[in-house]
Amino acid sequence: MLIGSLSGISYLDFIAHLGPVAIAGLFVNWAVLHWVYLPGSVDRVPVAQVLSAPEFQHERVRKKPVVVLVIVLAGFLVGVPPALMAAIGAALLLITRTVDPRTVYDEVDWGLLVFFVGLFIIVGGAERARLTGTLLEPIARWNLHRIPVFVAATAVLSNIVSNVPAVMLLRTLVPAFPDPHSGWLALAMSSTLAGNLTITGSVANIIVVERALAEGVHVGFREYFRVGLPVTLATLVVGSMWLQIVK
């Protein structure tokens, strides 16, 4: 979302270039997880058991989110600003609510939101103090306009400071590339996929690990890395090759 707002790349353009990478990445992710944890078995998720919960028995609860989702996606596709369209979708869900808003707010992890806000404050402070240029100077001389080099640098930085701050730092370099469009796409692809490498590579990972811990499931750094390493390497290679072809 940050890159979409900073670059001006449309929703359809983004899907056309990076949608195939996302689909390939899902298959790679499934294959690695199946190979590591489920050799010789069949994946099964007890969906019916979840859907039998009382809160899902109301007809509107099952249909309304789907209708709102279709409206929001249609807005994205016709060119409505994503932030505005997302806000409209959220407003529709709240106005026509079938679930008490307090129940929804109870599910929000406020600690992680504060953590997320803190990341932006730190990056913004670094920019105001003119530390960003100093931090990026060592890698700014590495011919970063070349996709493989830029992807590798983004992947490393994303796992040092997390992928959102990495994007906030590297965004200052992309406009100077010979082909900024490819640079923005490479930054979006590599920062997102690099977030799979370690737990701290992405805020989304931290959310999942904390939710798992609340359910009594501990996911350690080493266990996560066991899957994250092959998934990240494979998807970054596929994504880099694809962008080299379609840029």
Mean pLDDT by 10 residues, the chain (247 residues): 85 93 94 83 61 58 82 91 88 74 75 78 77 67 81 88 82 87 94 91 85 87 92 95 88
Angle at 80 between CA 77 and CA 82, to 5 degrees: 90
Q: Are residues 122 and 191 in the same domain?
A: yes
Q: How far apart are CA 237 and CA 241, in angstroms?
A: 6
For 171-194, write each residue's pLDDT tens digit. 888 888 889 999 999 999 999 999
Q: Are residues 32 and 60 in the same domain?
A: no
Q: Are residues 93 and 199 in the same domain?
A: no
Q: Are residues 88 and 196 in the same domain?
A: no
Q: Are residues 145 and 219 in the same domain?
A: yes
> Cα 15 to chain center, whole Å?
14
Q: Are residues 101 and 116 in the same domain?
A: no
> For the chain, what is the domain count?
2
Single residue among 69, 88, 108 that ends a domain in this structure = 108
Tokens of 103: 């129940």
For 13-38, write each residue's pLDDT tens digit. 999 999 999 999 999 999 998 888 87
Q: Are residues 159 and 124 in the same domain?
A: yes
Single residue among 59, 80, 108 that ends a domain in this structure = 108
Single out the residue of 115, 69, 129 nearest to residue 209, CA to CA: 115
Q: Are residues 84 and 138 in the same domain?
A: no
What is residue 130's three-state secondary structure? coil
Q: Are residues 198 and 129 in the same domain?
A: yes
The answer to whether the beta carbons of residues 244 and 189 sit under 8 Å apart is no
Q: Are residues 30 and 124 in the same domain?
A: yes
Q: Are residues 139 and 89 in the same domain?
A: no
The answer to whether the beta carbons of residues 82 and 1 sit under 8 Å apart is yes
How confident is the model at residue 106, as a pLDDT? 77
Q: Are residues 164 and 237 in the same domain?
A: yes
The answer to whether the beta carbons of residues 41 and 70 sit under 8 Å apart is no
Single out the residue of 8, 10, 244 nearest to residue 146, CA to CA: 244
CB atoms within 10 A of CB 47: 8
How confident is the model at residue 194, as a pLDDT? 93
Single residue among 74, 93, 108 that ends a domain in this structure = 108
Q: How far apart are CA 138 and CA 201, in angstroms?
A: 21
For 147-167, write each residue's pLDDT tens digit. 888 999 899 888 888 888 888
Q: Cα-Cα-Cα-Cα dihedral of 117, 106, 201, 127, to 10°?
A: 0
Tokens of 206: 């931290």
Q: How far apart are CA 133 and CA 31, in angstroms?
A: 40
- Which residues span the domain enclosing 70? 44-108
Question: How much is the mean pLDDT over the chain?
Answer: 83
Q: How far apart are CA 22 and CA 194, in angstroms?
A: 13
